[in-house]
Structure formats: structure tokens, C-alpha cells
Amino acid sequence: MPWTNLFVERKEPPFDQDEGKDLRKISFAEAIREALDQALERDKRVFVMGQGVDAPGGLWGTTLDLHKKHGAKRVFDVPLSENALTGVAIGAALVGMRPVFVHNRPDFILLSMDQIVNHAAKWSYMFGGKVKVPMVIRSVICRGWGSAAQHSQALHSLFMHIPGLRLVMPSTAYDAKGLLISSIVDENPVIFLEHRWLFKHTGYVPTGLYSIPFGKGAVRKEGNDVTIIGISHMAVEAIRAAAELQKEGIDAEVIDLRTLKPLDTGIILESLKKTGRLIIADVGWKTGGVGAEISAIAAECGFADLKAPILRIGCLDTPTPSSYVLEEEFYPGVDDIVQAARQLLKK
């Protein structure tokens, strides 16, 4: 489909660049594929399932030809029975396998909320830790090209609300590979969300296997005037906004949380202590969203450090419209972050 090539950003974010002999530049999508490839290679318990994982395009390249390399028994297409197939993944995990279930849109995950929320998230606690459910649910979220309301949601706030789930949202190729490996290695159900606009971003990624600990955010740019927390693709937008703001003499600190559950509250509060101002830029809706949760944490634990009101940036509280004019209004971006920072710094 044309939009897969057209609306993807090509500007490279200026971070995680590190020259080294085992590093090379690959795309976010290639990093995902490499993590799956190496996990399948290393661990016979791992298998990858989902609609189209063995299709010619390989889900934006993230599963490309893995079925040819690792066999159709380990990388396989599934019927469109999202709820049952999620249960199938849970059952396989319970008896010692490591399933990775891929959804090419998060909207389809809603059909499997019973198995995710009532079963996967609860099976460890509800049975006193006697069994575990090590599984990964991967999904490609957000923007396409006029994809409208049912092919473009983020939905991470729904998962953040549920005890028993890990929630991972990488924004760089390096993190995508390392965090996906951590997700497969983890002993619990993990929701792993990949923003579609990140797929063609490139970054330096080690050739070997590596994992990134959950619950450790990254400071993408240091600054003293305002803290900007970016979720998923908004971390990239936040870095761009920070560069704009620098020209105006506003020194912004940019934080990429990388995982929302567990959440690195330490990195948020520490930054707030320094800047006294907080902006949270999310790829989802504002109401009842991740920004609300982070705001509450900042108010509860960092109130004394606040010099200004906390500002949240998110999608309009409507279903995603399809016309590009309305889409531009719906999705937040660099300009919204810049505006918010100016407002806080009264410039």
C-alpha cells in the first residue's frame, strides 16, 4: 500500500549514535526483525504468530522471511480469532513456550481484551504465583494515511491501567531491539507497541543480542528550563521541539520513558526538581491518558518543585478522522510542544 512509504518520516533523530565496531545503522523495523530472528535462533521456546507474519511484506519488514529461516511451524499466520488466539498464546506460555503474538493494528487487540485483561494479566497473581505467562503482544500503532478511526489508535492507556501487564513503547531502533529482547526474556505478559512512523527511522544498533532493563527511562537531551516527556514517537517530536526552543533560549530537557509499566518515576521527579516545569507529550488521547497519570505522580510526589502548571499534549478527544486536514488537527506534533513550552516560560 502506498501510504507505508509515503507518510513515514525520513529525518533521523539525532540520538543513540555511537560509533563502535559492532554497531551499524539499521531501521527501527529491521531492529525488530533482528530481535525476533535472534530470539528464534537462540531459544527454541520462542515462536511468532499473527495475521500476516509470513506474508510477502512481513509486516513492514518486521517479520520478513522469518518463516523461511525458522520454519512455518515457528512463524505462522493465524485465523482472525484474536480472542481465542490470545488464549492459545497464554496456554502455550503456561506450559513453557515463549509466544510473540503480532497484531498489525492495535484496534484488533480490543477483540482480545478478555484474554489479555481477565486472563494473561491475572494468571500469575490469581494463582499465587504458581504459574507464569511469559508472552509478548506486539502491535503497530497510530498514524497511516487516512486510516481513520479503526486502524490508527494507540490504546496504551488501557493497558497501563491493568495490573499484571508490562507496557513497552520504544522510540529508537536501539531500544526497539533491546527492549523486544527483554520482553521475550521477561517472565510476564508484555504489551509492546511500535509507532508506525518510527519504522524507517535508523539508528546505531549492536549486531549481537542485548537487552535493556524495564523501568529505566532515558534523558535524550539535558536541559534546565522545562522537562518534556515524550511517549513513543512523541519522544522524537520532543527532541525536535527542544532544538527549536534552544534557538529561542529555552533549554528543554527531553525524557523518553521507554517503558510505561514499569514506569521510571525517578527520572521524572529528578528532572522536575531541576526544571520545575513539565510537559507530557503523548501519542494517545489526553483524557484519562498516560499524561494524566504522569501529571498525578508529579503532583503527588513533586509538588514542591513545580513552578508552573503541568501541561499535557495529546490527540483530540475524537475518533481519528480520515481527511488529512482533520488529521493534522487531530495529531499533536512539534509545534504543539514548542507552544506549550513558550506558554510555560511566558515567551
Q: Please state, in angstroms and rounded to a whole number, the distance separating the CA atoms of residues 50 and 39.
A: 17
Binds other proteins (CB under 8 A): choice among 62, 63, 104, 182:
182
CB nearer to other proteins: give 12 or 114: 114
| Site for other proteins, residues 3 to 32, rule: CB under 8 A | none
How many residues bind other proteins (CB under 8 A)? The answer is 52
Listed in sequence order, the residues at least 6 apart from 319 whose beta carbon sits closer than 8 Å to its beta carbon are 148, 149
C-alpha cell at 126: 490469581
186-215: which residues touch other proteins (CB under 8 A)? 186-188, 209, 211-214
Binding-site member from 88, 113, 308, 326 for other proteins (CB under 8 A): 88
113 counts as binding other proteins under rule CB under 8 A: no
| Contact residue for other proteins among 142, 160, 181, 311 (CB under 8 A) | 181
Q: Which residues contact 180 (CB under 8 A, 6 or more apart)?
A: 31, 32, 35, 36, 39, 136, 138, 168, 170, 192
Angle at 226 between CA 224 and CA 306, to 5 degrees: 105
Binding string, residues 130-169; x marks residues near other proteins by CB under 8 A: xxx-x----------------------------xx-x---
Judged by CB under 8 A, the residue of 33, 119, 240, 312 near other proteins is 119
| DSSP state letter for 320 | P
- Site for other proteins (CB under 8 A): which residue of 55, 97, 110, 113? 97
- 118 Cβ contact partners less than 8 Å away, ≥ 6 residues apart: none
| Residue numbers annotated as active site | 82, 151
Query: What's the Cα-to-Cα distance from 158 to each of 113, 165, 168, 180, rounded to whole Å?
Result: 10, 11, 13, 20
Of the pair 213, 288, the CB lying nearest other proteins is at 213
- Give the three-state DSSP class for 283: strand
Q: Which of 93, 168, 245, 340 binds other proteins (CB under 8 A)?
A: 93
Site for other proteins in 211-270 (CB under 8 A): 211-214
Which of the ranges 51-59, 91-99, 152-160, 327-335 carries the binding residues for other proteins, by CB under 8 A? 91-99
Segment interacting with other proteins, rule: CB under 8 A, options 29-37, 62-70, 84-92, 269-277: 84-92
- Collapsing DSSP to helix, strand or coil, 24 comes out as strand
Q: What sign does the CA torsion over 230, 336, 251, 28 have?
A: positive
Stretch that binds other proteins, among 21-29, 76-84, 228-236, 294-302 (CB under 8 A): 76-84
CA distances (Å), origin 262, targets 159, 168, 253, 327: 12, 9, 21, 31
Count other Cβ atoms within 10 Å, centred on residue 2: 7
Applying CB under 8 A, the residues found at the interface with other proteins are 42-43, 45, 47, 73, 78-79, 81, 83-97, 114-115, 118-119, 123-132, 134, 163-164, 166, 181-182, 185-188, 209, 211-214
